[in-house]
Amino acid sequence: MTVATINGIPINYQVKGDGDLVVLIMGTGSPGRVWDLHQTPALVAAGYRVCTFDNRGIAPSGESLGGITMPDMVADTAGLIEHLGGGPAHVIGTSMGARVAQELTLARPDLVRKAVFLAGHARMDHFQQVLTEGERQLFDSGVALPAKYRAAVTAVMNLSPATLADDHSARDWMDIFEFTGGATSPGVRAQLGMDRAFDRRGAYKSIMRPCLSVAFADDRMIPPYLSREVADCIATASFEEIPDAGHYGYLERPEAVNKVLIDFLAK
């Protein structure tokens, strides 16, 4: 990995492959290396130059403990693209990263060739706003959930019932969540502190770049109707829904997700 100073803070990133640049933007609380499990290898094999990075809030990138805003994250991604030689680049984000990609496509269309929003959303409904506030309160209380309970909650919120119905898959995922989970870092708490009471449906009507909004059919965190709203707002957007996939659909159904990504970028 390489560290560059972008917008006054260190941003940890890596680049693999050759060809047109694809920038992958991860969601809340996760490092950029998560993409390396499935999406980075597939995109490199398809002939793309792929950049993954740790958003501000995720060490060793700057944790921005004084607070994080969406414009901060958009500026970080824009600055990284410029650092890598400028756009336009293909931009793919998931969850919070999808929102970064959406806002970047709106604010800096000169840097975006095509954009894909996995679990994208122009707003959050009441459930997501209450859930986020609950996560903030849990962190601030100092309460640590037992590892097995935390793993079970993570699985229910982020995986498809189809995955959990298979004993072998469920056991593997629960083991992963139990042993890779832990206390929320102050940087992730800063990410959780970002505004959730937004509605960008009107603003996204101005996006003119080719876009793809991808929903995961069993996503409890960002249900498909919110991702469809994004596609409905953007005249140049199309919509895909991946079956038997929860919020971590890019990890649960990587072959299906990778095919959708590569097919769209190749058009």
| Catalytic annotation, pick one of 64, 90, 213, 247 | 247
Q: Of the residues 117, 148, 180, which one is the last residue of a structural domain?
A: 180
Shared domain for 112 and 210, answered yes or no, is yes
172 catalytically annotated? no
d(CA 25, CA 58): 12
Please state whether beta strands 112-118 and 211-216 pair in parallel, antiparallel, or not at all (unpaired).
parallel
Predicted pLDDT at 86:
86
DSSP E strands: which ranges in 28-167? 49-53, 89-94, 112-118
Number of domains in the chain: 2
126 catalytically annotated? no
Give the lowest-confidence range in 48-52, 143-147, 164-168: 143-147
Shared domain for 38 and 149, answered yes or no, is no
Shared domain for 118 and 176, answered yes or no, is no
Shared domain for 40 and 54, answered yes or no, is yes
Shared domain for 73 and 205, answered yes or no, is yes
Shared domain for 105 and 142, answered yes or no, is no
| Catalytic annotation, pick one of 30, 61, 64, 95 | 95
Shared domain for 50 and 173, answered yes or no, is no
Q: What is the pTM of this model?
A: 0.96
| Catalytic annotation, pick one of 54, 76, 218, 219 | 219
| Enclosing H/E stretch for 65 | none
Shared domain for 144 and 246, answered yes or no, is no
Predicted pLDDT at 184:
86
Residue 11: which domain range?
2-125+197-266
In a domain, 19, yes or no: yes
Per-residue pLDDT reduced to its tens digit, 199-258? 999 999 999 999 999 999 999 999 999 999 999 999 999 999 999 999 999 999 999 999
Strand pairing partners for 260? none
Shared domain for 162 and 246, answered yes or no, is no
Whole-angstrom CA distances from 211 to 72, 90, 118, 134 are 22, 10, 11, 32
Shared domain for 115 and 135, answered yes or no, is no
| Enclosing H/E stretch for 146 | none
Asked if residue 182 has pLDDT above 90, the reply is no
CATH number, domain of 116, equals 3.40.50.1820
Which residues have a Cβ under 8 Å from the Cβ of 113 and sit 6 or more positions away? 20, 87, 88, 89, 90, 209, 210
In a domain, 138, yes or no: yes
Whole-angstrom CA distances from 85 to 20, 105, 242 are 11, 17, 33
95 catalytically annotated? yes
d(CA 110, CA 120): 21
